[in-house]
Structure 1
Amino acid sequence: MRALLVVNPRATTTSERSRDVLVRALRSAVDLTVRYTERRGHATRLAREAAESGVDLVVTLGGDGTVNEAVNGLLTASTALAGLPGPLAFRLPALAVVPGGSTNVFARALGMPRDWVDGTGVIIAGIRDGRHRVINLGRADDRYFTFTAGLGWDAATIRGVEQARLRGRTSTPGLYVRSMAGQFLTGMDRKDPPLSLEQPGEEPTAGLSTVIVQNTAPWTYVGEKAVDLNPGASFDLGLDVLALRRLNIPGTARTVTQLAWRSGDLRGKQVLRLHDIAEFTVVASRPQAFQLDGDYLGERQKVHFVSVPSALRVIC
């Protein structure tokens, strides 16, 4: 079996020595090539070239951003676009994820161990046993995502965190909480919610302040705690949506309290939830912050979301 290991050298939970151990372990099971990412978007090109060269497996060592880039490389390879018969997942190399970031939502949602050593052991056992799982993906316009996407408050929070990290701050749960509060108090137009959600054949739902899309549960983790906005979201189903209407301070405080203490049990007039949706569009009256898999991607005024069934084989 030929495999490519895509390494983000800035992965926060590994060192050069541990990466050498990982490479030796993987080489005991596969014919391995190792490539290091050099810039944002590089993992996409590396994964696409691997798929087009006939590699059987792409392994990532990094966080959720590295995984997202690799997945987009695989799904935009010529073999994926060739229109061959059968599920999309079987036209492409399989994916394996060694957790190396600070949160690793995708790997943990798959049930992978948090420790990279244990995760590597699971992958090697899966390779030797021929074990894999076929999962659905989400697509936002022309870009795929593995676990979440969002417009509005959550994406603006991620933007704030990324700006803080560029100034040298460390990514911690506290930094996210401070960014969330700051965006709510100063960065949101709470009186005139800009978003609407449109489903084929239905009347649009307008007056939304933020829209969060899930391809699986949980939405994210705060330390060891899973944050489940839509506990029914699954890699085996369509997309789930949680949207908040007008973000007034009392109502939002209640929602955040519910989220902290009764994850998945969000209630109230300001909460809209949709389950197992195949296709919808979010439209904004003015540009809104946009994120995919925890990476801020700029501002958008319209995003078309689609659930892509049987899109990827994952060793887990």
Structure 2
Amino acid sequence: MRALLVVNPKATTTSGRTRDVLIHALRSDLKLDVAQTQYRGHARDLAQQAAEDGTVDLVVALGGDGTVNEVVNGLLAHGPGERVPRLAVVPGGSTNVFARALGLPNDPVEATGALLDALADRRERAIGLGKALTDGLPDRWFTFTAGLGFDAGVVGRVERQRRAGRKSTHALYVVEALRHYVTEREHRRSGPISLEIHGQEPVPGMVMAIVSNTSPWTFLGSRPVFPSPSASFETDLDIFGITRMTAFRTARTVRQILRPLPAAEGGERPAGPAGKHLVSYHDVRHFTLVSEEPAPFQVDGDHLGDRSRVSFTGVRRALRVIV
């Protein structure tokens, strides 16, 4: 099997020595080419070239969620299909949410061993993905989440701190979330975002909207969060929105999102966060988020700037992943 390993040399949890060990291990079972990313978007370009080449069977992403997202967008630059190479992930970033959602070990050496075992056993999984569409801009695939509004604003603040030299830590996310909460006083009470689903009345007044492609996904390390507990790689997309962020209601909602969920019985969906200020939809294939003014937008934890209108589509069995 011919494979391409796309390496983010700035991945925060892998050293050069560790990467050499991983490359040696993968070359024991694969005809492996290795490419290091050199600029933002390079992983996408490398994966797209591999998909168009037609001789690569597998693309392995070694890095964090940003690297994985770029690789996915490169593989699917021309849409899903049988000729699209399979994807494998070796976590190397500070969060690795997608790898955890697939059930992979967070340690890159252990994850490489799990990958080689999966290849030997020919284990793969066809997963659904989300696709975000904005007029005049390239479409963007996402693996676990997208967001418009408050949560994307926090991601943007963290990215600005990282560009200024700050290390990405859990504490940094908490601090920037609190700062963003203080500065967004007006929008906390009357949000500019509306949800539009065909055949239904629009849902206005949202401060933030989180689109989930799986559940749980992790935040602050390995802590699972459940904004949409029924979201799954096997269904379309779930939507979670907040229309009012007073201190009391926000604290209550955060507790609900972070609480462990009991196993559902009899095929019932697990209960998610509840309240008059919350919006929740499960397994929606097409919908649009519209903001009265440009609002921060993120996919898979990558801030993409401000958007006024984003349409979403769930695409089932979009990509084959080695697990």
TM range (shorter): over 0.9
The answer on whether the counterparts of 2:239 and 2:281 sit within 8 Å (CA) in structure 1 is yes
1:27 equivalent in alignment to 2:24: no
- Does residue 273 of structure 2 align to residue 266 of structure 1? yes
Q: Which one of 230, 233, 236 corresponds to residue 232 of structure 1?
A: 230
Q: What is the rounded CA distance, in whole Å, between the counterparts of 1:284 and 1:116 in structure 2?
A: 40
Partner of 2:194: 196
1:18 counterpart residue number: 18
TM-score by length of 2: 0.92
- The equivalent residue for 1:83 is none
Structure 2: distance between partners of 1:136 and 1:291: 19
Shift of 1:163: 1.0
Structure 1 range deviating more: 293-302 or 89-98: 89-98
* SS of match in other structure, 2:189: coil
Question: Match for residue 45 of structure 2?
Answer: 45
Correspondent of 2:105 among 99, 113, 116 = 113
The reply on whether 1:136 has 2:136 as its aligned counterpart is no
Counterpart of 2:70? 69
Question: How much does 1:262 deviate?
Answer: 5.2
Return the alpha-carbon distance in structure 1 between the equivalents of residues 316 and 257 of structure 2: 29
Distance 1:130 1:89 in 2: 19
Letter in 2 for 1:28: S
Corresponding letter in the other structure for 1:239: L
Segment drifting more, 259-268 vs 214-223 = 259-268
Which residue number in structure 2 is paired with residue 173 of structure 1? 170
SS at match of 1:312: strand
Show the counterpart of 1:297.
304
Matched AA of 2:229: P
Secondary structure of the residue aligned to 2:256 is helix
Amino acid at match of 2:71: A
Instruction: Confirm whether residue 186 of structure 1 aligns to residue 186 of structure 2.
Output: no
Deviation, structure 1 residue 156: 0.3
Q: Cα deviation per residue 1:192-237 (whole Å; 9 max; x = unaligned)?
A: 3100000011111111110000000123322232112111110000
User: Are the counterparts in 1 of residues 98 and 217 from structure 2 also a CA contact under 8 Å?
Assistant: no
Tell me the alpha carbon deviations over residues 36-73 of structure 1, each in whole angstroms, 9 at most, x when there is no partner. Answer: 00011000000000011121000010000000000000
Aligned to 1:84: none
- TM-superposed CA distance for 1:105, in Å, is 0.4
Task: Measure the CA separation in 2 of the matches of 1:103 and 1:190.
Answer: 27
Q: Tell me how far apart the structure 1 counterparts of residues 143 and 274 of structure 2 sit (CA, whole Å).
A: 26
SS at match of 2:111: helix
Q: Name the counterpart of 2:295.
A: 288
2:38 alignment partner, SS class: coil
**2:119 paired residue among 122, 127, 137:** 127
Contact 1:219 1:230 in 2 (8 A): no
User: Could you tell me which amino acid in structure 1 is paired with residue 112 of structure 2?
Assistant: T
Q: CA RMSD in A?
A: 1.3
Report if the CA contact (8 A) 1:89-1:134 is conserved.
Answer: no
Q: Contact 2:95/2:219 (CA < 8 Å) preserved in 1? A: yes
SS at match of 2:228: coil
Which secondary structure state, in structure 2, belongs to the residue aligned with residue 201 of structure 1?
coil
Give the match for residue 215 of structure 2: 217
Fraction of identical pairs, as percent: 53
Amino acid at match of 1:178: V
Secondary structure of the structure 2 residue equivalent to 1:282: strand
Number of the residue aligned with 2:322: 315
Q: Determine the structure 1 residue equivalent to 2:58.
A: 57
Which of 306, 313, 320 does residue 306 from structure 1 map onto?
Answer: 313
Q: What letter corresponds to residue 172 of structure 2 in structure 1? A: L
Give the corresponding residue for 1:85: none
Tell me the secondary structure at the aligned position of residue 231 of structure 1: coil
Letter in 1 for 2:217: W
Contact 1:214/1:233 (<8 A) preserved: yes
8 Å Cα contact 2:196-2:202 kept in structure 1: yes
Name the aligned partner's letter for residue 102 of structure 2. L
Contact 2:224 / 2:258 at 8 angstroms: preserved in 1?
no
2:147 paired with 1:150: yes
Equivalent residue of 2:12, what SS?
Answer: coil
Distance (Å, rounded) in 2 between the aligned partners of 1:69 and 1:261: 31
In structure 1, give the amino acid aligned to 2:47: A
Residue 249 of structure 1, CA deviation = 2.5
Give the Cα–Cα distance (whole angstroms) in 2 for the partners of residues 102 and 89 of structure 1.
31
User: Within the alignment, does 1:100 sit opposite 2:92 as a pair?
Assistant: yes
The answer to whether the Cα contact below 8 Å between 1:6 and 1:35 also exists between their aligned partners in 2 is: yes
Q: Of 194, 202, 205, which aligns to 1:207?
A: 205
Where 1:90 maps in the other structure, the secondary structure is coil
- Structure 1 unaligned regions, length at least 5: 81-87
